[in-house]
Chains A and B, each alone.
Chain A
Amino acid sequence: MEILIIILSGVLFTTAIYNLLQKQLLRIIIGTVLLSHGAHLMILTMGKLKTGLPPVLTEGVTDYTDPLPQALILTSIVISFGITGLLLVLAYRTTQENNTDNMEQLRGKSNE
């Protein structure tokens, strides 16, 4: 199982980086979202997948899934959401001020 998830997050990373190297702002932002997806899967996998029941205390159960990576991912999801929101608004403002969302054109003295 782990190997499959790792390959999946590898694919997510590949596409994320390909997107980050693009010119359009929206593609770059999607790239960051993909990157965080890949990272979250990665953290989860590193905590060893599937060793037991959900980490909610129940009578008679001693075998739980590792709760720590889950807490970490939860934090990370919220933070990456905040950043995605901010980036989207930033892209909106940039496009509005400069009439372009092309990174090639967003340079030079007039925009600095």
Chain B
Amino acid sequence: MYTVNLAIMIPFLAAIIVPIIYKRIQKIHIGWFVFLVPTALFLFLVSFIPHIANGETYLYTLEWIPSYNINFTTYLDGLSLIFALLITGIGALVTIYSIYYLSSEENLSHFYTYLLLFMGAMLGVVFSDNIMVLYVFWELTSISSFLLIAFWYHRKSSRDGAQKSLLITVSGGFGMLVGFIMLYVMTGSMSVREIITTISSFHDHALFIPAMLLILLGAFTKSAQYPFHIWLPTAMEAPTPVSAYLHSATMVKAGIYLVARFTPVFGGELTWFWVVTIVGIVTLFWGSFNAIRQTDLKALLAYSTISQLGMIMSMIGISSVALRQGYSVNTVIYTQAAFAAIFHLINHSTFKGALFMVVGIIDHELGTRDIRRLGGLATLMPITFTIAIIGSFSMAGLPPFNGFLSKEMFFTAVLSVRELQFTSEVWMSLIPVIAWVASTLTFVYCMIFVIKTFLGEYKEEKLEHPGHEAPFGMLFSPVVLGFLVIVIFFFPNVLGDYVIKPAMYSIFPQLGAEDLGQHISAWHGFNTELKMTIGVIVLGTLLFISLRHWKGIYNWILPEKLSFNSLYGNSLEKVEDLSKFVTNSYMTGHLRDYMVYIYIFFIIAVGGTLLNTKAFLFDLEQYSSISEFEWLITIGMIIAAIAMLLAKSRLTAILLNSVLGYGIAIFFVIFRAPDLALTQTVIETVTTVLFLAAYYFLPEWKKEDSKRRSKVVNAIISVTVGVLFTTIALAVQSGKLFESVSSFYENAYELAGANNIVNAILGDFRAFDTMLEVVVLLIAGLGVYTFIKLKARKGDNPLEDK
């Protein structure tokens, strides 16, 4: 029974089949086949709701790499069920929408393959219990998102957007992987459930805080939190169904999922509370502040998504207080922040999906989504207008839409922060103030969205197509989502009791199961939260009316060149320039320079080791005596070697070289090595002949004409290496040695039937060396032959000759 594992694999299997069907069946739009996948999965997952609501969970393990504890383990509980329902449900709606949105001339098989890949990866992220498998699916979502953003790859902006999102999300993903590995090192387990049960004994571990911050980095980059939010607006180059699906409803919530999933692990720490809450609040404010200045509807929605994600994030951050303070009547209010977070997560998916689809319809029917060219569409597109109103008012937090409920709960959460004693009261009360201002700004951009697009005067001359209502197929999905927005407002407790409450057990497994749920009421009395909402409406309306007068502040508060976007662009450019500069500065193309690097490294590494270990000491006592004849040869060879450097002609150099060679042969005689002496003499003779032959063909021997500076450098390097080498040799010579193995070879006659021990070694004891040495000679001979004989030709013309 691996049903959940199978559910993850189905989209991947479908992704393989899609291109095949696409080629075979031309008459029916391929999207209809794809539609079956999320629909079937959705229905399958819906069947789990009653069981999950009863507190059951499902765990399946498929072995993958058991020796490393990496197994394809899926865990179905309340939290993952919510995400999975969103992924499949909105996935199905987006598929229908895309069938009507994309023309059949597009490369549909690519589109749906990527989309199914994404769907499978996303299901994998939410169901995986094993952190390594979770990471695998996490990166798969990054990659499939990259492919989808660059779907129209012939556009430069699409490619740039895809690159930016990949760089940011994958960097965060790597950070997360490191955090996971730290977690594994600490707890010895890769299963999230096991980590939760054992983590309490590791709170003082040195890796605890680094692991927490790295995992948060992964979550923040994926969920477009400040300051990593910059990839989301540029990802709007993707086709609108993709924006609606990935960049509002599912992928950007993977980070939220991760934070919620790891709240039981890290939530007890104060650092967690501060980082998550502050980043969330800042993102909330920054997103809503920036959304107002946008003129592109999709960019506006992108910033609003950033803002809403920040809001959800901050609520999860606030809820972690409950884990810190333990369960009591006083902390119930904090657990309810998590409840509100999940509730708003669902609400956001519904209304933001609908809004993106609305923008897609406008873009598709009118050929533009620039606010400055739109207006007066209300009468032409009544259904679209209605959905836009539902979506925007819900986003602004107005009744009777579901956003109102979650925004009220959000206010409750931020107000509850004031009672915490972590730091001075002034700082604590700043959080609700920022949240309230951000909500006001949210109201303003929601009004911009509705009023500037649909009301006002109709500018037909600026549009590519005259305005008219979209076909039914395109309207179907946004209508369903808009309908959900209202249904959830009127029946929030169905959702709360059956879906959100089980998820609360997943976030707070340490706390008692009772009282984790919450009763949502549309009318909750005339309290502070309601007054705040009224304040939002009043101030928001005033701000919207006076928009023309204060819009200028954006240009002097935030000029384009000071934004994070240009920071990203500039640093990318500078890094490229810098690495180019660095590489060009040392990769000169001169062989001499590379040799100099090698020798300098040798000098530093070996010389440094010698100095460090004081291994350069040696004593001169033990050496054997030197006869006059040996003195003579040695001095003669030293003179020959040095004279070679000063040689005026090639012939002198070659002759001096053979003097050295024969000198060595004489040494071999002195040191009782008859075979060596013989070989050395013969080889030296042949080498000299070879040199003389080459000498005949090579150009004139030129005087050394390099610059004085490089001559000095060469001299210093060669002398240093020579001295170093001599020192090492002396140090090794006088080291304490063990007996040589050579006495074994004195049995040559008994073992090999030979009198000449050296020859016995070469031909018998160590004959492999000899065999391969013969091969070397053979290859060298073949090489010589080919160098002389063969020339690359093309047809009849020699390729190389000029």
Chain A residue at smallest Cβ distance from B765 = A71
Count of residues in B whose CB is under 8 Å from the partner chain: 98
Option from B654, B673, B729, B781 in Cβ contact (under 8 Å) with A45: B729
Knowing A15-B645, A82-B777 touch, does A2 contact B756 (C-beta < 8 A)?
Answer: no
Q: List 17 A-B contacts (CB under 8 A).
A: A2-B733, A4-B631, A6-B726, A10-B725, A15-B644, A15-B645, A26-B650, A26-B691, A34-B644, A49-B671, A54-B673, A64-B757, A67-B757, A73-B676, A86-B780, A92-B787, A103-B590
Specify which chain B residues have a CB less than 8 angstroms from the CB of A19 in the assembled complex. Answer: 644-645
CB distance from A91 to the nearest CB of B (A): 6
CB distance from A39 to the nearest CB of B (A): 10
Judge if B653 is at the interface, Cβ distance under 8 Å.
Answer: yes
Knowing A54-B672, A66-B742 touch, does A11 contact B638 (C-beta < 8 A)?
Answer: yes
Chain A residue at smallest Cβ distance from B737 = A48
Knowing A90-B787, A92-B698 touch, does A9 contact B761 (C-beta < 8 A)?
Answer: no
CB distance from A106 to the nearest CB of B (A): 8
Chain A residue at smallest Cβ distance from B625 = A1
Query: Contact between A70 and B676 (Cβ–Cβ < 8 Å)?
Result: yes
The DSSP consensus for interface residues of chain A is helix
Query: Contact between B671 and A13 (Cβ–Cβ < 8 Å)?
Result: no
CB distance from A14 to the nearest CB of B (A): 3
Query: Contact between B687 and A26 (Cβ–Cβ < 8 Å)?
Result: no
Query: Contact between A77 and B718 (Cβ–Cβ < 8 Å)?
Result: no
CB-defined interface of B354-372 with A at 8 Å, one 1/0 digit per residue?
0000000000000000000
Chain B residue at smallest Cβ distance from A24 = B702
Cα distance A98–B222 in the bound complex, in angstroms: 56
Specify which chain A residues have a CB less than 8 angstroms from the CB of B653 in the assembled complex. Answer: 26-27, 30
Option from A42, A46, A55, A103 in Cβ contact (under 8 Å) with B592: A103
CB distance from B219 to the nearest CB of A (A): 48
Q: Contact residues of A with B, CB < 8 Å?
A: 1-27, 30, 33-34, 37-38, 40-42, 44-50, 52-57, 62, 64-68, 70-71, 73-75, 77-79, 81-86, 88-93, 95-97, 100-104, 107-108
Cα distance A52–B687 in the bound complex, in angstroms: 31
Cα distance A81–B449 in the bound complex, in angstroms: 83
Knowing A21-B717, A34-B660 touch, does A84 contact B687 (C-beta < 8 A)?
Answer: yes
Query: Contact between A42 and B729 (Cβ–Cβ < 8 Å)?
Result: yes
Cα distance A95–B508 in the bound complex, in angstroms: 78
Query: Contact between B704 and A15 (Cβ–Cβ < 8 Å)?
Result: no
The B653-704 residues at the A interface (CB cut-off 8 A) are: 653-654, 657, 660-661, 664, 667-668, 670-676, 679-680, 683, 686-687, 690-691, 693-695, 697-699, 701-702, 704
Cα distance A52–B645 in the bound complex, in angstroms: 37
CB-defined interface of B477-517 with A at 8 Å, one 1/0 digit per residue?
00000000000000000000000000000000000000000
Judge if B800 is at the interface, Cβ distance under 8 Å.
Answer: yes
Specify which chain A residues have a CB less than 8 angstroms from the CB of B584 in the assembled complex. Answer: none
Cα distance A64–B757 in the bound complex, in angstroms: 10
17 more CB-based (< 8 A) A-B contacts, given A2-B733, A15-B718: A5-B667, A6-B733, A8-B637, A17-B599, A21-B595, A24-B701, A25-B698, A33-B687, A44-B667, A44-B671, A49-B671, A75-B773, A77-B676, A82-B779, A91-B698, A104-B590, A107-B590
Judge if B770 is at the interface, Cβ distance under 8 Å.
Answer: yes
The B766-800 residues at the A interface (CB cut-off 8 A) are: 766, 769-770, 773, 776-777, 779-781, 783-784, 787-788, 800
Specify which chain B residues have a CB less than 8 angstroms from the CB of A54 in the assembled complex. Answer: 672-674
Query: Contact between B686 and A57 (Cβ–Cβ < 8 Å)?
Result: no
Judge if B721 is at the interface, Cβ distance under 8 Å.
Answer: yes
Judge if B641 is at the interface, Cβ distance under 8 Å.
Answer: yes
Query: Contact between B788 and A15 (Cβ–Cβ < 8 Å)?
Result: no
Query: Contact between B634 and A74 (Cβ–Cβ < 8 Å)?
Result: no
Specify which chain A residues have a CB less than 8 angstroms from the CB of B784 in the assembled complex. Answer: 85-86, 89
Cα distance A67–B762 in the bound complex, in angstroms: 10
Knowing A7-B726, A67-B758 touch, does A21 contact B714 (C-beta < 8 A)?
Answer: yes
Highest count of chain A CB atoms <10 Å: which of B697, B701, B781, B801: B697
Cα distance A47–B779 in the bound complex, in angstroms: 31
Query: Contact between A30 and B644 (Cβ–Cβ < 8 Å)?
Result: yes
CB distance from B529 to the nearest CB of A (A): 72
Specify which chain A residues have a CB less than 8 angstroms from the CB of B612 in the assembled complex. Answer: none
Query: Contact between A41 and B757 (Cβ–Cβ < 8 Å)?
Result: no
Specify which chain B residues have a CB less than 8 angstroms from the CB of A102 in the assembled complex. Answer: 702
Specify which chain A residues have a CB less than 8 angstroms from the CB of B634 in the assembled complex. Answer: 4-5, 7-8
Query: Contact between B762 and A56 (Cβ–Cβ < 8 Å)?
Result: no
Judge if B275 is at the interface, Cβ distance under 8 Å.
Answer: no
Query: Contact between B723 and A78 (Cβ–Cβ < 8 Å)?
Result: no
Judge if B755 is at the interface, Cβ distance under 8 Å.
Answer: yes
The B701-726 residues at the A interface (CB cut-off 8 A) are: 701-702, 704-706, 714-715, 717-719, 721-723, 725-726
Judge if B65 is at the interface, Cβ distance under 8 Å.
Answer: no
Specify which chain B residues have a CB less than 8 angstroms from the CB of A83 in the assembled complex. Answer: 780
Cα distance A81–B689 in the bound complex, in angstroms: 12
